[in-house]
Structure 1
């Protein structure tokens, strides 16, 4: 907060300096996800006051899914967006997922289970896109791991990372323009802390963003030279 002018100064992750919409982000004309939204959450989950720590507190007798969205969707104008979660506790079953989804998606399903929802799950390492049936993608993840997810609006793809390592493209032809970061859980004591850029990421997203911009520039030069 800028106390002198009594207005909020947006948190801008360093990789967004490459964004074509940087000036709009810097002037706060474009809103970015900065925390989890307690008002857009399943009752199975408890969110910290700062909106960055999430715990599964569901019924002891059952394991209902609980999901939560961030406070803002990701505006496609930014070109690229990325966030990470640190798994503090995998809980009893380690059923934790993250990704992106549209605002009308039910909060009783894991990321990726519903139409225009995309997710990567820690218990089986599978990816899910608009379906409850997953497919092989990456390794499982558990307590102590840092998992990230990025969406590339330049080519409409999505990828995930584990402990700073890029796991490859997970989804192509991502066609929604109103996608919110989403996290899902399904067993007791599961706990994660989310990072939207409040601190350094484990994955070198700055280098990745620079690579994406360079590839776009190279492709444009090739088109003009032919």
Structure 2
């Protein structure tokens, strides 16, 4: 670019106001050229100061975003608190990327967390602790002197390639934590460290590692394209959640039996192992369905790992380790496959599968003259109910129920001998999100049909409403 005085003259001539001059004041071309050089010199000084200021600001940002000088990492891009898997063109997907913090975990209950912002192709993310000189090409937990939770399979690894299942797989948005606490076994903290791991704020497992606590450093391992996490080395653990302090277990009296189930208000949560069909969690209501309370609903708050959630009715002495519908004296709609089970482990196609947020309902259409031993005269004070409603209509959240003569024509049950020990036949119906999806005629056991809910995989959680039609 031309920067001579001759080249600057046309620009200065057109902008004399920059020097506080008027065009008429320029007597000669030579004077104007001198003025132009002075202007150029002032602008150069100003631009130099601006560049210095911007360079200083960029340096400040780099010093904040750059990890501590002694942090170790390989095949990992570090941008502030964000870690991304980044191998070379021939390495990506073949070698582990590993990050090791410069500072070890201090004693007793120190804690850090990792938020999975992108699980990448396989979600092969490991969170744990290792010595500072750990081999950065080895996944955490697979070799001695390391312990870690792996997001891709929900297992806890401690110095070997075989892990212990402690939680479901993790995905984008999940938080994984690792911390240390005082060892309750009385081992010397200079020789062994007690570690615990969390998933989304809940403790999922613990392990004792044969290394001094002050030699273990927070670490993150990654092993597939696109993986990205946000690291929080100052996370806190052990503080009470304000919401949890406000929970009142005011619905516990509604349940007669709770096997491998936890109740918190109207919420039921599976508390079993979830490893085999013998690990069923069962919740059975204290009162049977009746003409006064003939219908209940269950909202899926968390489908857990497999959504093995069953909603239905069962006899009072139903086996606690069997899903509703699997044994005689029960009928149930299963969320995982959309099938109905009626006294057998073999289900029949019935309705759609159910997922998080879906509401599963179950009720009974009672015959006109039905009465349980514990039930008084049927209530008919103007409030609609389903007893004896042949030819009548019932509104249920946008769905209409008819109990007409056609209901009497349901096929007879295979176990005809049951009728000798049962009272009467009723029609059990099921709904999904307020719409009736089907019904099943069944002999009602002596004592009635009790609302029963079964679960069978980790972290399943539902919200129960025994009177959704009231009000």
Same structural fold, with TM-score higher than 0.5 when normalized by the shorter chain: yes
**For structure 1, which runs of at least 5 residues remain unmatched after alignment?**
1-34, 209-226
Among candidates 104, 110, 113, match of residue 139 of structure 2: 110
Instruction: Map Cα deviations across residues 56-100 of structure 1 (whole Å, 9 max, x no partner).
Output: 012455411011111211233xx2211111100001110000001
Separation in structure 1 between the aligned mates of residue 239 and residue 137 of structure 2, nearest angstrom: 34
1:166 aligns with 2:203: yes
Matching residue of 1:133? 162
Separation in structure 1 between the aligned mates of residue 210 and residue 180 of structure 2, nearest angstrom: 9
1:95 aligns with 2:124: yes
Residue 170 of structure 2 aligns to a residue whose secondary structure is coil
Q: TM-score, normalised by structure 1?
A: 0.66
1:206 aligns with 2:242: no
Matching residue of 2:106? 75
Q: RMSD of the alignment, in Å? A: 2.3
Whether the aligned pair in 2 keeps the contact of 1:45 and 1:58 (CA below 8 Å) is yes
Q: Report how many residues are paired.
A: 165
Matching residue of 2:225? 188
Instruction: Map Cα deviations across residues 16-49 of structure 1 (whole Å, 9 max, x no partner).
Output: xxxxxxxxxxxxxxxxxxx96575434311001x
Residue 80 of structure 1 aligns to a residue whose secondary structure is coil
Separation in structure 2 between the aligned mates of residue 115 and residue 46 of structure 1, nearest angstrom: 26
Question: Which structure has the larger Rg?
Answer: 2
Change over 3 Å in CA distance of 1:37–1:115 after alignment to 2 = farther
Instruction: Map Cα deviations across residues 132-187 of structure 1 (whole Å, 9 max, x no partner).
Output: 2222222211101111111114444211111111113x213543231000100001
Matching residue of 2:85? 56
1:45 aligns with 2:76: yes
Residue 93 of structure 1 aligns to a residue whose secondary structure is coil
Separation in structure 2 between the aligned mates of residue 135 and residue 93 of structure 1, nearest angstrom: 19
Residue 239 of structure 2 aligns to a residue whose secondary structure is helix
Change over 3 Å in CA distance of 1:180–1:165 after alignment to 2 = same
Separation in structure 2 between the aligned mates of residue 67 and residue 142 of structure 1, nearest angstrom: 19
Matching residue of 1:17? none
Separation in structure 2 between the aligned mates of residue 93 and residue 66 of structure 1, nearest angstrom: 14
Residue 87 of structure 1 aligns to a residue whose secondary structure is strand
Matching residue of 1:215? none
Change over 3 Å in CA distance of 1:102–1:195 after alignment to 2 = same
Separation in structure 2 between the aligned mates of residue 153 and residue 47 of structure 1, nearest angstrom: 32
